[in-house]
Chains A and B, each alone.
Chain A
Amino acid sequence: VLVSDVETGVRELLAAALGRDPAEIAALPADTPLFNGPLGVGSLTGVRLLAGVKDRFGVDVVAEDLTLESLESIATLTRYVAARR
């Protein structure tokens, strides 16, 4: 499985967690920050996102990344998931 497939999946999960148009999320640069800026992930949407990542990729970010360093941008979360699945 290609890293680009993981990135596509991460973007789809982001759109679902935020309740936003998937096409809009797909068009954002990979270094878009998750928390501030146009995405604005919050506590509840973050919980949904990580549950989705665990379901789809089998990577338990909540249990493995204790300081949640992987949640910097679309690209950092993609790299974290791609390296562990």
Chain B
Amino acid sequence: MIKCVVWDLDDTVWPGVAIEQDVTPTPYPEVLRAMDVLAGRGIVSSAASRTDPSLTAAVTAHPELAGRLVAPQLGWGPKSEALLRIADELGVAVEALAFVDDSPFERAEVAAVLPGVLVLGPDELRLDRPEFTPAVVTDEARARPRRYREEQARRAAEREHAGSREAFLRASGLELTVGPARPEDVPRVAELAERTHRFNTTGEPWPADRIASLIGDPGWFVPVARLRDRFGEYGLISTALVERHPRGLAAWQPRLFMVSCRAAGRDVPRAVLGWIMRRALADGARQLLVDLRPSNANLELRLLLRGTGFTAADPAAGSPAPGTVLLARTLDSDLPEVPWLRLIEECS
């Protein structure tokens, strides 16, 4: 699925070549309309133009383009490199980019270097293409364009911050709102289960109707966590499907725990885990059991679990499913805390 369309500027977004003109050209109205329709589906627009990099200021201040383009790249280098920078800035895979350019030469260069990119001429850009038509557009997806702009402001502030990373995080005003999932959260919980890989304990998809049935089930606890900071909203970025007292044990057992990778760098996995541990303790649990399907993809999460005291569970605690291991940690001491995250607990 495409998450970002990267537009050429000269003769694609606007007529003519900008550096040969006294004022920045006016974009084609149908291009602006296409950008808006795509944004409504959670697909952002960016730009890659081979031109004088000093024109960047004119684009980022352009009345019609400033709010529509994220991370525009103007410079003399190859467009494939511009696309790699855009993917990096947005935190998406190169395969999630589409590239629109009137020049067959530029299209061929990108297609040769980045075969995963959907390369189109302006006349091939039809908004009913399946790559541009997600089956379900969640609120999270619709908010994505705004989020990418906030993330850019955040990264710029972090680059310019003189102190340590911890000092930057402390100054970011991070607030984590945690509480039980509501029925309206189900599509996003299912989306996270499907889309997160790095911070996902098992990588198993859970159907939305199954998740919905767990929300009202007293044998389960389905928490969600939302993150915001002074730059904006990250949205719903972590969730878990926790079995309470499985097999009559004095334990809680997350069958799935996951965190969106855009929040993982803020120590959110550790904070959410620590909060779940405290809830478990208050519910009479003495240990937390975690189903884990170890892989290379979720190594960071495995290290985090190990670093917060998880080791192989006693076989008496239950037998793990094939390909998984069961981890355990007692809840008697040193529950993880993240000092720079303000935790706000929503009532059950």
Residues of A at under 8 Å CB distance from B? 34-36, 41-44, 46-47, 50, 62-63, 66-69, 71
Contact = CB atoms under 8 A, between A and B. Distances in A.
B303 A68 contact: yes
B325 A67 contact: yes
Contacts of A62: 296, 299
Contacts of B292: 66-67
A46 B301 CA distance: 11
Nearest to A50: B299
A6 B264 CA distance: 33
B219 interface: no
Given A66-B294, A66-B325, A71 B299 contact: no
A50 B308 CA distance: 18
Nearest to A60: B296
Contacts of B325: 66-67
Given A66-B325, A67-B325, A67-B327, A47 B299 contact: yes
A71 B308 CA distance: 12
Interface of B: 264, 292, 294, 296, 299-304, 306-308, 310-312, 325, 327
A66 B302 CA distance: 9
Contacts of B307: 34-36, 41-43, 46
A10 B262 CA distance: 31
B306 A47 contact: no
29 contacts: A34-B307, A35-B308, A36-B307, A41-B303, A42-B303, A42-B307, A43-B300, A43-B301, A43-B303, A43-B307, A44-B300, A46-B300, A46-B303, A47-B299, A47-B300, A50-B299, A62-B296, A62-B299, A63-B296, A66-B294, A66-B325, A67-B292, A67-B294, A67-B306, A67-B311, A67-B327, A69-B311, A69-B312, A71-B303
Given A66-B325, A67-B327, A43 B311 contact: no
Contacts of A67: 292, 294, 306, 310-312, 325, 327
Nearest to B264: A43
Contacts of A50: 299
A57 B130 CA distance: 48
What 9 A-B pairs are tightest by C-beta distance, nearest first?
A: A35-B307, A46-B303, A43-B300, A68-B306, A67-B312, A66-B294, A43-B303, A66-B325, A43-B304
Contacts of B294: 66-67
Given A67-B311, A67-B312, A67-B325, A35 B296 contact: no
Contacts of B302: 68
Contacts of B296: 62-63
